Structure 1
Amino acid sequence: MSPWFFNDLSPMNQALVLGAHLFGGFLLGVIYFRALWWNTRLLAQGRRPLLAISIALARFVLLGGLLILASREGVAPLLATVFGLFVGRFLVLRGVWAKIS
């Protein structure tokens, strides 16, 4: 478990922690799905396969590591992180869709 527990915080501090997790999840979503788009283009063009593999591994390690860290603080921070991840995913996919259509 974390050295400090989410449920032991005051309500104001809980809101700040949830906001930080939401923002962190948003950044994680933007970074993860931009890297996925970059990785997809590299694989589709058949260029630099080692770079594509290393990007994929870095994406998985980053996503897994940050979600594990969020889960160690409790359910609410993990859900806030995942919700931020989905918001970042939505914005990146909307931008990608605008580029290809």
Structure 2
Amino acid sequence: MTLIWPNGMSGWHTTLILLVEFGAGTALGLLYFRGLRWNARLFAGGASLGLTIGLGIARFACLAAILMLASRAGAMPLLVVVLGVLAGRAAIMRSVKRLAA
């Protein structure tokens, strides 16, 4: 018996796509929050204000673009990508806590 999802794809196909989207969201979260940490170091270290603001805007624009693409695929892909971003954030926060200890 094959489970057919409402979008007409099989359950395995949809699950695989959602896992790939979660992985992409996790990678995006890792890059975004690692970039945020790097940007904060630049700002605190006295780097050029234009550089730090430009990097912050670029980081935010990349996140917004990826989330916009995910939203065009539907609510479930957007939710899975956002959960991946939050998983990436959690991983970065754990690594920062280890470094601070």
Normalised to the residue count of structure 1, the TM-score between the two structures is: 0.87
State the partner residue of 1:35. 35
Deviations 1:62-94 (A, max 9, x none): 110000100111111111101111110000111
Question: What is the CA–CA distance in structure 2 between the aligned matches of 1:53 and 1:62, rounded to whole Å?
Answer: 14
Question: What is the CA–CA distance in structure 2 between the aligned matches of 1:98 and 1:73, rounded to whole Å?
Answer: 37
Q: Percentage identity across aligned positions? A: 40
- Structure 2 gap segments, 5+ residues each: 1-5
Whose relative contact order is higher, 1 or 2, with alpha carbons under 8 Å and at least 6 apart?
1
Normalised to the residue count of structure 2, the TM-score between the two structures is: 0.87
Aligned residues: 96
Aligned residue identity for 2:61: V
State the partner residue of 1:3. none
Aligned residue identity for 1:58: A
Deviations 1:29-53 (A, max 9, x none): 0000000000111111211222211
1:66 aligned to 2:66?
Answer: yes
- Structure 1 gap segments, 5+ residues each: 1-5
